[in-house]
Amino acid sequence: MDASQETPRTPDPPGAVTGTAENDYRGSPRVTRRELITATAATGVALGLGGKVLGVPNVVRGAQAAAIKFGLLEDRSGNFAIYGLNKWHGTQLAIKEINDGWTLRGGPDGPGGPGVVAKVATKPPTMHPVLNRGASTVSRGGAPSEDKVVWDEADDYLVKSGDTGVLGRKIELIAPDPQSDLRQFQSLARRLILQDKVDVIMGGFASAEREALRPIMDQNKMLYWYNNQYEGGVADKYTFCTGALPEQQILPVMEYMIATYGPRMYILAADYNFGQLSAAWTRAMAPILHGQVIGQEFIPLSVTQFSSSIARIQQAKPDWLVMYITGQNHANYYPQANAAGIKIPMGSSINIAQGFEHLRFKPPALARFHVTASYMEEIPTARNRKFVSRWRKMFPNEPYLAMEGHSAYVATHLYAKAVRLAGTTDKDAVIEALESGIGVEAPAGWVFMDPATHHLSNYIRLAHCDEKHNITFLTEWPHIEPWWTRRLGVNLVKHPEFKQYTPDEDPFFKKGTKR
Amino acid sequence: MGLDVLANLLYQFADNMAFLLLAALGLMIILGVIDVINLAHGEFIMLGAYLTALSYNWGHLPLPACAVVSMVGVGLFGLVLERTLIRRFYQDKLGALVATWGVSLILSQGILIVFGPSMAAVPFPQWTLTVGASSFDGYRLMLFGVAVGAVAVLWWLLYHTRIGVQTRAAMQNAEMAACLGIRIRRIYLLTFAAGSALAGLTGALYAPTTTIVPLMGTGFVDVAFITVVVGGGANPIVGALTSAAVLSVISAPLASISGTFIGRIGLLVAALVVIRFLPQGFSGYVRDLQRRRMGAAAAP
């Protein structure tokens, strides 16, 4: 800056040396008008160009007249980005399939496909009596095989819908990025409802995000889908949930882990509604399953360093750990615990299946991990291999097909089926169609939308992660219904409600819960 | 049993103190020397972590080399930022606050646009030590060593080199120092670059322990600010050490006994209490003590 232009803000003491630019540490003079105008013009040009060059609109639009407007609010940045990206991709895959005239097999019929009569071995194969290896004879003595009915594991789950799009209208996806920020969720939801006038909104990962959205959806009578596993209890006429529930995930994993590793459990949960309520479920169900919660810790969502939690776990010495930690900040627990030498088995309803920690962290950080998942990419059935190959054809750089991407996919197809059944996108008619008792062949297996509770029955598999981070499925529960809210008397068909039940409102939990 | 518990507590204390020291040191020297609050400090740490991840995964350098790359890279970035932006705000503290906040937004969202929501991880060195029934992570003990070493290097620079004397003179009375021919602008430039390099080092050291995402700086910047405020800007060395020590002594046992959440609350309450009674922080209090002692000695 020229010395001649200076107007020092503090008065100089008498005799002070001023004017030498080199020694003027007191900062440049205040900005002149010319500088301001130049800077503003440059910024304006840069922003204008930047918009065109970088081209990052956060709304994906296709211009179609009379298209069905499909709103999606999934985080693509922030703490929950890796989950949101997966669900966004699942929705896009489903919409593409629907627009091309495909749909999931299903309807109000029962589970599975047609049975076929086939020849089945009467006894399991036996080892060769002399060579002691190889399954040689099927049976010794008696009939070698008999005719029985076996289920037809259909290797494809997509059938032609006889329609292009839904009722002849293509689906247009409007998906802004809420950046894992609750305020953004709410303002974007209002924009989708009032300005874009969408026909349905799906979205939300964390339970906090869902509960921020639900009042807005109810106020505006907007059909809302929450496609994520969570702590259960939502009984809302306008909300449908396709994710797994505690009775579908927590109870099976507790059952298995207590029987296999022992009754002493230590709970590590994220400190918000999901973590607290899942921990309440665990504490209440522990006595029935012959388990014992010896300690618990709730960790705020912003914590990234876990030394004190690890030390407390080492002091408590549980038989196995119950993990309800969420988000990318909390995922850091696994490498840190591994470096500190913790070798305790872990059971969870979320990690690995949702956040693919077994691929993100180097082995053996996730060794001895068990999760009850409604879907995982590693499921070995023929139809899942087809699903994975279709997904990876559309998204070749997808890091992992997570549980909730599958939930989003199934939800989108279910919505399309319901609209076709209702013959209109009018929200009340679609809700009535969804309550008619629809089951579909999802890539995970057959799932059924329960009319009374607006939740999906799920096909649950227990996955185990070993030292090399290979996944094997130890047990499966092909059909677990969402029975908890039914026990509370929820029947959204007869008595519409707009709330979330917590375990505190269930007298059964009050008996068993010890804080 | 007693030795076990003691070892555990010492380990927690060391880990906590290392985190506070490493997060706050860069911010402390910038505040102490230039009197500017750098709200982009968390993003500098994030940049250091990203540089480490990039040089490890693309450049295939060993981890210590990646840390050096991060330090140099973020230091150069700080140099450029100081030259273009910060030096307009030497007298304008509030303006500096707003400007550096803008820089932090640009950095975090810019990294999000360029690299996407997450980055390939850097592996965590597995140095497990076992003492009795507890096992500890050797990497964190090394971090404690590095933190103390950084403070020692800083002390040596400030008290045993010519540029250190000049910096202390600039801290004490910048105008007088300028009259004596000390190039204050250069001191400020080097200080800002050094503070940025320290932030880069912190990012590089903590990169293996966390997932590397654009918003990871927020986890460091809140404790950094608390530590800096409790320490006070009058004397970066004394301030950083005492503040980190006091806050860790209070929060580590609390976290050990009652959980991470209570540990955090303990840290905040401790900071509140210290600020209530020592508004200038620990180093401000020490400076006032020294002045009073000098005044008493000078009085007849």
> What is the interface size between A and B, counted as CB pairs within 8 Å?
143
Tell me the per-residue pLDDT of B74-116, one tens digit each, with 9 for 90 and over: 999 999 999 999 888 888 889 999 999 999 999 999 998 898 7
Q: If 0-12 CB within 10 Å is exposed, 13-18 middle and 19+ buried, where does residue A491 land?
A: middle
- How close does chain B come to A482, measured CA to CA in Å? 33
**pLDDT (average), residues B264-286:** 92
Closest chain A residue to the Cα of B252, Cα to Cα: A308
| CATH number for position A352 | 3.40.50.2300
pLDDT exceeds 70 at position A21: no
Residue A50, in any domain of the structure: no
**pLDDT (average), residues B210-222:** 87
Q: Residues A175, A200: one domain?
A: yes
How many structural domains does chain A have?
Answer: 3
Whether A28 sits inside 8 A of B184 (CB atoms) is: no
A64 phi and psi, to 5 degrees?
-135, 135
pLDDT exceeds 80 at position B255: yes
User: B112 in contact with A at a CB cutoff of 8 Å?
Assistant: yes
Q: Residues A398, A449: one domain?
A: yes
Tell me the per-residue pLDDT of B131-144, one tens digit each, with 9 for 90 and over: 777 778 889 899 99
Name every chain A residue with its beta carbon within 8 A of the beta carbon of B130.
Answer: 341
What amino acid is encoded at A315 in this protein?
A: Q
User: A316 in contact with B at a CB cutoff of 8 Å?
Assistant: no
Q: Residues A99, A203: one domain?
A: yes
Residue B286, in any domain of the structure: no
- How close does chain A come to B295, measured CA to CA in Å? 25
Radius of gyration of chain A (CA): 28
**pLDDT (average), residues B201-205:** 95
Name every chain B residue with its beta carbon within 8 A of the beta carbon of A358.
Answer: none
Of A54, A307, A338, the CB nearest to B12: A307
Of B113, B121, B184, the CB nearest to A361: B121
Q: Residues A330, A439: one domain?
A: no
Name every chain A residue with its beta carbon within 8 A of the beta carbon of B219.
Answer: 302-304, 329
Residue B21, in any domain of the structure: yes
Whether B178 sits inside 8 A of A23 (CB atoms) is: yes
How many structural domains does chain B have?
Answer: 1
Tell me the per-residue pLDDT of A151-201, one tens digit each, with 9 for 90 and over: 656 677 888 888 888 999 999 999 999 988 999 999 999 999 999 999 999
Count how many residues are written for chain A.
515
What pLDDT shows up at residue A5?
A: 47
Helices (H), chain B: 2-34, 41-57, 63-84, 93-115, 138-160, 162-172, 174-179, 184-206, 218-231, 236-258, 260-277, 281-298
Interface test with B, best of A56, A83, A307, A309 (most B CBs within 10 A): A307
Residue A142, in any domain of the structure: yes
Tokens of A10: 């503090």
Name every chain A residue with its beta carbon within 8 A of the beta carbon of B127.
Answer: 339
- How close does chain B come to A39, measured CA to CA in Å? 13
Last residue of a domain, one of A131, A151, A171: A151
d(CA A58, CA A49) in angstroms, rounded, equals 17
Return the SS3 of A456.
Answer: strand
d(CA A178, CA A189) in angstroms, rounded, equals 9
Residue B14, in any domain of the structure: yes
Residue predicted with more confidence, A467 or A39: A467
User: B92 in contact with A at a CB cutoff of 8 Å?
Assistant: yes
Whether A76 sits inside 8 A of B117 (CB atoms) is: yes
What pLDDT shows up at residue B222?
A: 87
d(CA A76, CA A247) in angstroms, rounded, equals 29
A332 phi and psi, to 5 degrees?
-65, -15
Q: How many CB atoms lie within 10 A of CB A190?
A: 14
pLDDT exceeds 80 at position B296: yes
Flag the least confident range among A71-85, A462-476, B29-43, B110-124. Answer: B110-124
What pLDDT shows up at residue A46?
A: 62
What pLDDT shows up at residue A393?
A: 94
What pLDDT shows up at residue A50?
A: 47
Strands A200-203 and A68-73: parallel
Strands A445-449 and A456-465: antiparallel
**pLDDT (average), residues B144-153:** 95
User: Which is it for the CA torsion B229, B218, B237, B163, positive or negative?
Assistant: negative
**pLDDT (average), residues A421-435:** 93
Return the SS3 of B135.
Answer: strand
Residue A2, in any domain of the structure: no
Residue predicted with more confidence, A11 or A265: A265
Residue predicted with more confidence, B250 or B129: B250
Name every chain A residue with its beta carbon within 8 A of the beta carbon of B137.
Answer: 307, 336, 339-341
DSSP-assigned beta bridge partners for residue A370: A347, A464
Of B170, B185, B260, the CB nearest to A308: B260
Name every chain A residue with its beta carbon within 8 A of the beta carbon of B121.
Answer: 335, 360-362
User: B121 in contact with A at a CB cutoff of 8 Å?
Assistant: yes
What pLDDT shows up at residue A423?
A: 92
Q: Residues A389, A423: one domain?
A: yes
Helix (H) or strand (E) holding A408: helix A403-422
Q: If 0-12 CB within 10 Å is exposed, 13-18 middle and 19+ buried, where does residue B219 land?
A: buried
User: B106 in contact with A at a CB cutoff of 8 Å?
Assistant: no
CA dihedral A31, A34, A37, A40 (to 10 degrees): -50
pLDDT exceeds 50 at position A54: no
Return the SS3 of A71.
Answer: strand
Mean pLDDT score of chain B, rounded to an integer?
90
User: B2 in contact with A at a CB cutoff of 8 Å?
Assistant: no
User: A17 in contact with B at a CB cutoff of 8 Å?
Assistant: yes
Of B126, B170, B252, the CB nearest to A339: B126
Return the SS3 of A240.
Answer: strand
Name every chain B residue with its beta carbon within 8 A of the beta carbon of A302.
Answer: 218-219
Helix (H) or strand (E) holding A387: helix A382-394
**pLDDT (average), residues B269-284:** 92
Radius of gyration of chain B (CA): 20
Whether A28 sits inside 8 A of B135 (CB atoms) is: no
Closest chain A residue to the Cα of B219, Cα to Cα: A302
pLDDT exceeds 60 at position A59: no
What pLDDT shows up at residue A56?
A: 45
Last residue of a domain, one of A130, A151, A172: A151
Q: Which of residues 354-383 of A touch B (CB under 8 A)?
A: 360-362
Domain coverage including residue B89: 2-215
Q: Residues A302, A409: one domain?
A: no
Interface test with B, best of A17, A24, A25 (most B CBs within 10 A): A25
User: B261 in contact with A at a CB cutoff of 8 Å?
Assistant: yes
Residue B298, in any domain of the structure: no
- Kindly list the distances between the CA atom of residue A212 and the CA atoms of A273, A452, A503, in Å, as whole numbers in the listed order: 12, 24, 20
Residue A51, in any domain of the structure: no
Closest chain B residue to the Cα of A31, Cα to Cα: B88
Residue A53, in any domain of the structure: no
Q: Residues A236, A103: one domain?
A: yes
Q: Residues A74, A221: one domain?
A: yes
- Kindly list the distances between the CA atom of residue A493 and the CA atoms of A235, A481, A497, B214, in Å, as whole numbers in the listed order: 11, 17, 10, 45
User: B102 in contact with A at a CB cutoff of 8 Å?
Assistant: no
Residue predicted with more confidence, B27 or A12: B27
Residue B50, in any domain of the structure: yes
Name every chain A residue with its beta carbon within 8 A of the beta carbon of B250.
Answer: none
Residue A359: pLDDT band with limits 50, 70, 90:
confident
d(CA B10, CA A116) in angstroms, rounded, equals 68
User: A66 in contact with B at a CB cutoff of 8 Å?
Assistant: no
Whether B135 sits inside 8 A of A341 (CB atoms) is: yes
Whether A311 sits inside 8 A of B137 (CB atoms) is: no
Give which of A305, A398, A306 is closest to A356, Cα–Cα: A398
What pLDDT shows up at residue B84?
A: 92
**pLDDT (average), residues B223-244:** 91
User: A332 in contact with B at a CB cutoff of 8 Å?
Assistant: yes
What pLDDT shows up at residue B204?
A: 95
Residue A60: pLDDT band with limits 50, 70, 90:
very low
Residue predicted with more confidence, B1 or B165: B165
Residue A329, in any domain of the structure: yes
DSSP 8-state class, residue A367: T
**pLDDT (average), residues B48-76:** 93
Domain coverage including residue A253: 247-378+508-512
Q: Residues A312, A405: one domain?
A: no
Name every chain A residue with its beta carbon within 8 A of the beta carbon of B93.
Answer: none
**pLDDT (average), residues B145-160:** 94
pLDDT exceeds 70 at position A125: no
Name every chain B residue with its beta carbon within 8 A of the beta carbon of A266.
Answer: none
Q: Residues A372, A299: one domain?
A: yes
Q: Residues A236, A99: one domain?
A: yes
Q: Residues A287, A227: one domain?
A: no
Residue A36, in any domain of the structure: no
Residue B225, in any domain of the structure: no
Residue A35, in any domain of the structure: no
**Does the interface predicted TM-score (ipTM) exceed 0.90?**
no
Residue B143, in any domain of the structure: yes
User: B136 in contact with A at a CB cutoff of 8 Å?
Assistant: yes
Q: How many CB atoms lie within 10 A of CB A133?
A: 8
